[in-house]
Amino acid sequence: VQLQASGGGLVQAGGSLKLSCAASQRIFSSAVMGWSRQAPGKEREYVAAIRWGSGNTYYAPSAKGRFTISRDNAENTVYLQLNNLKFEDTAVYYCAAGRVVASTPTVYDYWGQGTQVTVSS
């Protein structure tokens, strides 16, 4: 499956962005879709995940309360709403597809190309 991420950009601290990730084929109900991010000089880190079938969502502590992951089953698209952005949220955001939920990006089988989010202070 191919994943196409979009929606990144430059935003001031406190602002919002909505990232999208479209899959090239139907996402099975057993799949887990997630977002991770990688800042310059840092390791890729887990941000949020959603079980495609149930819609259950999971968040890293840094994302809880500010970010919202959602899905559109008909469009095979997963979203990440970023609110109250902080300078430290600056990173390349990647969407990914896998089969399990975990607080590490290494569990995912397929990755999108990433979209840059830059937050100015």
- pLDDT, one tens digit per residue, over 14-49 is 999 999 999 999 999 999 999 999 999 999 999 999
CB 19, CB 5: distance < 8 Å: yes
For residues 91-102, give the mean pLDDT: 95
Distances (CA, A) of 50 to 24, 34, 79: 18, 6, 10
pLDDT on residue 95: 97
Rounded-to-integer distance, Cα 7 and Cα 5, Å = 7
> What token pair was written down for 25?
């084929």
CB 60, CB 93: distance < 8 Å: no
The answer on pLDDT for 99 being more than 90 is yes
Mean per-residue pLDDT of the chain: 96
Work out the percent of the chain whose per-residue pLDDT is above 70: 100
